[in-house]
Structure 1
Amino acid sequence: MGDINKKVTLIIAGDRSGVGKTTITLALLSFLVQKGYKVQSFKVGPDYIDPMFHTKITGRPCRNLDPILTDQTYVKSCFNQHSQGVDYVLIEGVMGLFDGVPFQKAETWQNIELNREKDHLFNHYASTAHIARLLNIPVVLVIDCSRLSGSVAAIAQGYRSLDPNINIIGVILNRVGSDRHLELLENALTPLNLPILGKLYRQDSLTIPDRHLGLVPTDELPEFKHLVKKLAHIAQTSFNWDLLFPLLTSPQSPYGRVFDKNFDVVTNMLDKRAPTSHCPIKIAIARDRAFNFYYPDNLEILEKLGADLLHWSPLEDESLPFRSSGLYLGGGFPEVFAQELSANKQAIKVVQTAIRQGMPTYAECGGLMYLCQEIINFQGETWPMVGILPTTAKMGNRLTLGYRQAIATDNSLLLTSGDTLWGHEFHRSELTINSPKPLFKLHSWHSQSPSHAEGWQLYNVHASYLHLHFGGCPTIATKFFRHCLDFSESVELS
């Protein structure tokens, strides 16, 4: 496969959503890890589930590269920091190569609305193309060929020529129907002198189960190891490694001069660290099949502040970790496991008591749903939950999805009135009763989506559908840790 002593970095992009870039990325990761290489993966955008697959395969946390939830400086420094000491770096794109949010984050909301007509194609934030330009990394374009023959050349040439700052080094032909079909595709692409780096036939036997918010998480797949072996075999037999490797290997660093290798993104970001105590502040992190949507950076930022993160399971554990001073309830699929969550009455009682005693609690999406009185699942079944929030989370067919500019409507546990930050919504549930004192006024980047109030503040609870990346709002992490510290000290004094 050529010289393996030089670091390889590439982006796997698609001509549109659903072309198979996740499967191809997982296949590449599986094969490289099987060969004994250290691989760091990244995912463009706010995704949680695809990174779970990356992490499970590589044994290293997959990092999200999202300049809207964070910013461009954070993206560059995060990429550089976590690309050290590995043999390969792979980035999985999002949607189609040029699909993204068409505005400059630095603008105010009003200016975004006024200037929407003036936005240029190449200002699309959170697109794969934007990340490719920002990090100066070559792109491999995945094309779904199931309904193509000669037209594949027009697609490939169009993508290659649209933006001269994007270096498309080759294509991967996915879902090829037959040898004859492959011959037609190859003949069409030959005049372009654009290397075909992979040829994957339709894999009807290879399926990764999915549900209403994407793939089924890895912890729910008992045959995951078998899947990884199958993916590795596909990569070994379907990719032209002799052609791929020389194209990707360069004697010079692919990162460019914009990166400072000594830049610790988290330490520099937290310029006003929270006070620390002699004993680590223990924060309980809900982590099981029902709750598993966490950005690794969020957890590491809390650790940088001095938190000792202790995992616990609302599904199986009857108590919080000993001497917990805070509770972090991430997103996930509580609606899928609502019956089991409801059956663990001791855990519900413990959470109720802790919150009523003032324990700082940060809950996102699925965590918010767990704190409601009930969850009504897709089958119409009603299951009692913690009951701290006087509302019910009801599942429905409507998908709420997208980036949000969030403006704090009042002072609360983690917010000061007027604070502005960026988050992401992704859920199919709605609350039967809205908060009488919401946390945020949420604005969608899409002009036709009206703004709406959202989020709950009761006791020392911050509960919202909004997913936040602490890399973009470090003061949230700092304030949460500070409240956990105060709670710990108050318990010690009592």
Structure 2
Amino acid sequence: MVVIAGERSGVGKTTVTLALLAYLCRQKLRVQSFKVGPDYIDPMFHQYVTGRSCRNLDPVLTSEAYIQECFTRHTQQVDVAVVEGVMGLYDGASATDFFASTAHVARLLNLPVLLVIDCSRLSGSVAAIAHGYRSLDPRLQVAGVVLNRVASDRHLQLLQEALEPLNLPILGVLRRQDDVYIRDRHLGLIPAAELSQLDSVIDRLATLGETCFDWEKLLPILKSQFSIAGVQTLRATSLHSPTRIAVARDRAFNFYYQDNLDILVELGAELVFWSPLSDAALPDDVQGLYFGGGFPEVFAQELAANHLVIAAVKQAIGVGMPTYAECGGLMYLCQQIVDFDAQAWQMVGIIPADAVMGARLTLGYRQAEALQDSPLLAKNAVVWGHEFHRSSLSVPSVPENSLFPLFQAQNYDRQSPLVTEGWRSPTLHASYIHLHFGSNLELPQRFLHYCRSSQFSQ
């Protein structure tokens, strides 16, 4: 079991992680992956390779105890666990105590760290980088380094000579691999479901994993066991009859934490997956709607063309079906999505605003306080969430009396001004802020209670 960390963003953590996962799965090992932080897209690639849902480990969105419990639960029946870090090893929500960084999570789980270093523009300086990262926090166990983007045999020799005095094993060497490439766009990698040639890329990554790592040294580390004292189960169960929730999941809506879906099921939900892109109607006999994030702006023309579904969603929400929509789901419920080409596409129209794409990236953790009751939160409840989007809301008309702003929110450091965010009605919770249910069971419990109590079903 190991944590894959980088000395900064963009050094190749995801390539290294996928190469490891692909080769280990080729060897018929049972592999469970994890991702530090709030990311949705990298876990999709993990799951595509391993066949197991990747789990997010984020102490801001959940808690330290939840991270330990989640990791313990999902490593009981596997041979190997691989945790992909976020940004640089010590980059987290706080620059002083490294809270929510990869280093923080590695300490919580008592796991060794494999440090990925981008060597494309350095040789002897690699020793200073490796030494600094290993010594900054003596509580961490840096098991070795992976040298990425090595240009030549001579380049590798210089790197090896520089690292030799540190007695820090080189556990992998990756040459410049221009043929192993996954395309990206405005919010990161293009999701796995949209890539037609992904199987061949994964096959090349498996071969890369086989040839570029020192398996004699690395495999014992990967198969080592971890131990955390006093881990307790944090989940709840339900005695209620199943509550049918329609969950939008397709190319436009696919940003969901698997733990959120699992928790809803454990609390008594029956999840019915459907597609606002291609289905002709809402699923039958559902009692609530869940629209996750994704890329509705990329598929806005297709979404707008599905008039039957748009009308059905608008009618269902209008007559009181409890609805949870976050980020991309919020955009879908607006009057229009205005894409990067300034083309406007008609959406559901429940929210009296347009979602307008722009160059500015909104990114970061948010502490949010509910201004009014919603299907997920009682008035004055405080939650932590995460934003990641390039759209903003423009309000071209006067809001209806039944629809009000949802949150007062501010950044992680709580030094920024409070802003109002999201929309709510007695049965609607719509926001840019992504929430994780792991340490907030009252959120899904409240939502399911609203769904069970509702007099409306589709």
1:373 aligns with 2:365: no
Amino acid paired to 1:92: E
Are the counterparts in 1 of residues 374 and 426 from structure 2 also a CA contact under 8 Å?
no
**For structure 1, which runs of at least 5 residues remain unmatched after alignment?**
1-8, 103-119
TM-score using structure 2 length: 0.96
2:148 to 170, 174, 196: 174
Are the counterparts in 1 of residues 321 and 456 from structure 2 also a CA contact under 8 Å?
no
Post-superposition CA distance 1:131-189 (Å, at most 9, x none): 01111000000000000100000000111111110000100000001111111101111
Post-superposition CA distance 1:265-304 (Å, at most 9, x none): 322xx7xx5x723xx2110000000000000010111101
The percent identity for this pair of structures is 57
**For structure 2, which runs of at least 5 residues remain unmatched after alignment?**
none
1:397 aligns with 2:383: no
Between the aligned partners of 2:414 and 2:272, the Cα distance in structure 1 is 41
1:423 aligns with 2:397: no
Matches within 5 A, 1:430-469: 430-433=392-395, 437-446=404-413, 449-458=416-425, 460-469=427-436
Change (3 A) 1:247 1:86: closer
Amino acid paired to 1:276: H
1:149 aligns with 2:113: no
Aligned partner of residue 342 in structure 2, secondary structure: coil
Aligned partner of residue 462 in structure 1, secondary structure: strand
Are the counterparts in 2 of residues 371 and 389 from structure 1 also a CA contact under 8 Å?
yes
Between the aligned partners of 2:221 and 2:434, the Cα distance in structure 1 is 38
Are the counterparts in 2 of residues 219 and 289 from structure 1 also a CA contact under 8 Å?
yes
Matches within 5 A, 1:312-331: 312-331=274-293
Aligned length: 453
Are the counterparts in 2 of residues 149 and 184 from structure 1 also a CA contact under 8 Å?
yes
Between the aligned partners of 1:437 and 1:290, the Cα distance in structure 2 is 26
Are the counterparts in 2 of residues 373 and 384 from structure 1 also a CA contact under 8 Å?
yes
Are the counterparts in 2 of residues 66 and 75 from structure 1 also a CA contact under 8 Å?
yes
Residue 100 of structure 2: aligned partner: 126
Between the aligned partners of 1:476 and 1:199, the Cα distance in structure 2 is 45
Aligned partner of residue 199 in structure 2, secondary structure: helix
Post-superposition CA distance 1:73-115 (Å, at most 9, x none): 111001100111100000000000011112xxxxxxxxxxxxx
2:211 to 237, 240, 248: 237
Q: Which moved more, 1:33-42 or 1:240-249?
A: 240-249
Matches within 5 A, 1:35-54: 35-54=27-46
The ranges of structure 1 where at least 4 consecutive aligned residues each deviate by more than 6 angstroms after the TM superposition are none
Residue 276 of structure 1: aligned partner: 240
1:349 aligns with 2:316: no
Between the aligned partners of 2:332 and 2:286, the Cα distance in structure 1 is 19
1:360 aligns with 2:329: no
Post-superposition CA distance 1:406-428 (Å, at most 9, x none): 11122233222211110000000
Deviation at 1:48, TM superposition (A): 0.2
Amino acid paired to 2:206: A
Between the aligned partners of 1:377 and 1:256, the Cα distance in structure 2 is 48
Deviation at 1:474, TM superposition (A): 1.5
Q: RMSD of the TM alignment (CA)?
A: 1.6
Deviation at 1:61, TM superposition (A): 0.6
Are the counterparts in 2 of residues 421 and 472 from structure 1 also a CA contact under 8 Å?
no
Between the aligned partners of 2:341 and 2:221, the Cα distance in structure 1 is 51
Deviation at 1:243, TM superposition (A): 2.0
Deviation at 1:475, TM superposition (A): 1.0
Residue 288 of structure 1: aligned partner: 250
Amino acid paired to 1:184: L
Between the aligned partners of 1:491 and 1:327, the Cα distance in structure 2 is 12
Between the aligned partners of 1:356 and 1:249, the Cα distance in structure 2 is 53
Deviation at 1:448, TM superposition (A): 5.8
1:23 aligns with 2:15: yes
Residue 158 of structure 1: aligned partner: 132
Deviation at 1:356, TM superposition (A): 1.3
Between the aligned partners of 2:33 and 2:222, the Cα distance in structure 1 is 16
Residue 195 of structure 1: aligned partner: 169
